[in-house]
Amino acid sequence: MFPNLPPATRGILLANIVVFVLQSVMRGALEGPFALQPLGPYFHMWQLVTYAFLHANLSHIFFNMFALFMFGGALEQYWGSRRFLVFYFASVLAAALVQLATTTLAGVEESTIGASGGVFGLLLAFALYFPRQRLILLLFPIPLPAWLVVSLYALLELLLGVTGSQSGVAHFAHLGGMLGGALVILYWRLSARGARRY
């Protein structure tokens, strides 16, 4: 299955599908221990990663995995599998930390699931490394450069997060994934620049 995808992207995609099947079979039993819970007695450190393998429904996992399929393979081929995995899980972790901070400050007691934090990190990276690549949005079928699509998407996420006009979606986690990805890329570029000085 997915033979043309690089190994790390394929592995993450298949792991998400397997976990989603388990969720369906176990009728929600995985969400309690493995979803990202608010800080408190039900929060555990492993949830900072495991939440990214759980999804609410078929459309939720479909769109996340479609984005992983579309952007993850190109980035893994560009970076290599090891760097790709570091980047993806740094985005997942940053999304979780931003989501925890947001829910704590807002006093919201709800769990978070989904690979969107990692996916939004990949979107940011794709726009930075392939800015002129043309993308076609489903609702706006005109080819636009990746940098513009991702910039508009980030602004929309910020607007929806601040106004709270779309409930049930972790908009700040999405932005947290982008932030984590940006910090990783910045670190890589500074490290490469420092290495060239010697």
> Domain 7-196 classified CATH 1.20.1540.10?
yes
* Cut 0.95: pTM above it: no
Query: Residue ranges of the alpha helices (H) in 35-170?
Result: 47-50, 58-67, 73-79, 81-106, 116-129, 146-163
Distance CA 80, CA 68 (A): 15
For residue 181, name the pLDDT band (cuts at 50, 70, 90). Answer: very high
Sorted by where each begins, the domain ranges of the chain are 7-196
Q: Retrieve residue 66's tokens.
A: 């479609």
What is the distance of C-alpha 35 from the center of its chain? 15
Per residue in 90-111, pLDDT (tens digit) is: 999 999 999 999 989 888 888 9
CB atoms within 10 A of CB 98: 21
31 half-sphere exposure, CB direction, 13 A CA radius: 15
Per residue in 16-63, pLDDT (tens digit) is: 999 999 999 998 899 999 999 999 999 999 999 999 999 999 999 999
Per residue in 117-167, pLDDT (tens digit) is: 999 999 999 999 999 998 877 666 788 899 888 988 888 888 888 877 667
Q: DSSP letters along 135-185, please?
A: E--SSS-S-EEHHHHHHHHHHHHHHHHHHT-STT--HHHHHHHHHHHHHHH
Task: Give yes or no for residue 1 having a pLDDT over 80.
Answer: no
